[in-house]
Amino acid sequence: MQLSLTQDFPAGMDRLWAVFGRPDYVQQKYAALGAGALRLLHFECSATLIALELERALPLDPARMPAWARRLVGSTLNLRQRSRWRRLGPAQVEAELEIAPLGLPVHAQGHGQISEIAGGSCRMQLSWQLRSALPLLGGRVEHLLAEQLKRALAQDHAFTLSYLRQHPG
């Protein structure tokens, strides 16, 4: 299953890179999004690379899940996430992202870019490929993960917009 999204940020590339390159931004973001048991396993930031790996517990709303999924994952989903952001130039970043629930045969892999656009703002475009190896339920699991991912990415974007307002330049 594939999923694509576009998000705009009211900040230039230098500002966005500086924010994404702060470990405290990452920790505050996931805490604000309700993640529990956050473990930042790796964080690296330079002028051309931001790389991180983390594990987090994602609380799930049983009311938003079909009964078969509640039995499969319960009320919490433990995730491992890897992100690599490469700065290709002053106005261009390439992204590679991976999210995998621990202990489940499902995987989300994202690729995309952030480009500086007119007015000193940036646009992020990501394409995700979701795959499940579960027999019979694979497509349903991919769809469920896609819904969770869309919701999480919208919350992530809202947090980042708020963070940019609260922490000017």
**Token code pair at residue 117:** 């656009």
Which residue type occupies 146? A
**Residue 155: per-residue pLDDT:** 94
pLDDT of residue 147 exceeding 90: no
pTM above 0.85, yes or no: yes
- 116, β-bridge pairs: 122
38-79 residue pLDDT tens: 999 999 999 999 999 999 987 777 677 666 666 666 677 789
| Phi, psi of 151, deg, nearest 5 | -65, -45
Nearest to 148 by CA among 161, 160, 168, 130: 130
